Structure formats: C-alpha cells, structure tokens
Amino acid sequence: MKLTIGSDHGAVELKETVKAVLAEYPDIEVNDVGTFGTTSVDYPDIAEKVCAEITSGRSEWGIVLCGTGIGISIAANKIKGIRCALCNDVFSAKKSREHNNANVLAMGGRVLGFGPAEEIVRAWIETPFSNDERHNRRIGKITALENR
C-alpha cells in the first residue's frame, strides 16, 4: 500500500517522526513529496501535491502536515475525492477511519508533541473503515455535495 506524505516548513521535523512510525509497517511504501527544509513554502501547494497522488490512484492514503494542520487540511478538503481529517487525538484518528473513511490524515507540527503524533498515526493506520450502511450513506452524501 502506498502512502504519500508532505508538510510545509511548520512541520518538517514532525514529518520525519511520522516517517519513522510508518517504517514500522512493512506493507506501507512511503512517498515523501517534501518540503525538505525550513524555507517557507505555501501549504496549499503541498496539499495539492499529496492529494494528486491519491486522486490519480498512485497512492491510497496521504498524510499532510503544517504548523497547525488547519490550513493544509482545509486545502486538501477542497480537492474532489479527498476526505482529510485533522486529528490531534487518538479517538478522532480512529473515528475518522471507522466512520468517515478518511483517506488523508492532517496534523499540526506546532500543536502536537511527537509522542502523541506517533500514537495518532498508528491509530489511523490500524483502524479499518466500518463499511456499514449508515457510514457509507453519509459518505455518499459528502460525495454528492462535492458534485453539486
């Protein structure tokens, strides 16, 4: 399974921490689209790069990071087919997979400590979508909103 990750300058350290967690999963192949330094970049550009990998089918999942996680999650959710969940706790991370079938996880490098971020990533990766009628119906309604 392929996962694309990207961050702006506000979360480059968190990106490395997250990649170390992802390395625990032999089935996950990580594609890192940057940024790779502390030079300021615009988070919508990173969201676009990560999400293009998902909407093209080249990656199944994405992780997007910025200072707060807010800007990059807003940008990602403008892209058709993306269900990006900003998660700063394990409970939300689990529910975003179980209920919302989130295909992108967002976190804030200036919000989360590395320990909590590691737990959030593990929870997000390991929680399957419930795939029940109720949640599929609601996700279908999200897709209908996108298509209006």
Nearest to 20 by CA among 118, 108, 123: 118
> Judged by CB, which is closer to ligand RB5: 45, or 98?
45
Nearer to ligand RB5, 59 or 68 (CB): 68
Can you tell me whether residue 7 is helix, strand or coil?
Answer: strand
Strand ranges in 8-119 using DSSP code E only, listed in sequence order? 29-32, 61-66, 84-86, 104-108
34-64 burial, b at 16+ Cβ within 10 Å, e below that, comes to: bbeeeeebebbbbbbbbbebbeeeebebbbb
Find the catalytic residue in 51, 66, 84, 87: 66
Single-letter amino acid code for the residue at 80: K
Torsion (CA) 103, 107, 112, 117 in degrees, nearest 10: 30
Which of 8, 15, 50, 112 touches ligand RB5 by CB under 6 A?
8
Least Cβ distance, residue 14 to ligand RB5 (angstroms): 11
Within residues 51-90, the interface with ligand RB5 by CB under 6 A covers 66-68, 70-71
**43 lies in the site for ligand RB5, by CB under 6 A:** yes
Q: What span, in angstroms and rounded, lies between the C-alpha atoms of 34 and 105?
A: 16
Task: Identify the CA nearest to 69 among candidates 139, 6, 140.
Answer: 6
What does the per-residue mask of binding to ligand RB5 show for 10-39, with x meaning CB under 6 A?
x-----------------------------
Question: Could you say whether residue 4 binds ligand RB5 (CB under 6 A)?
Answer: no
Q: Confirm whether 99 is a catalytic residue.
A: yes
From the candidates 9, 51, 84, 99, give the one annotated as an active-site residue.
Answer: 99
Subset of 88-147 contacting ligand RB5 (CB under 6 A)? none
| 9 flagged as catalytic | no
- Give the footprint of ligand RB5 on this chain (CB under 6 A): 8, 10, 43, 66-68, 70-71
Annotated catalytic residues are 66, 99
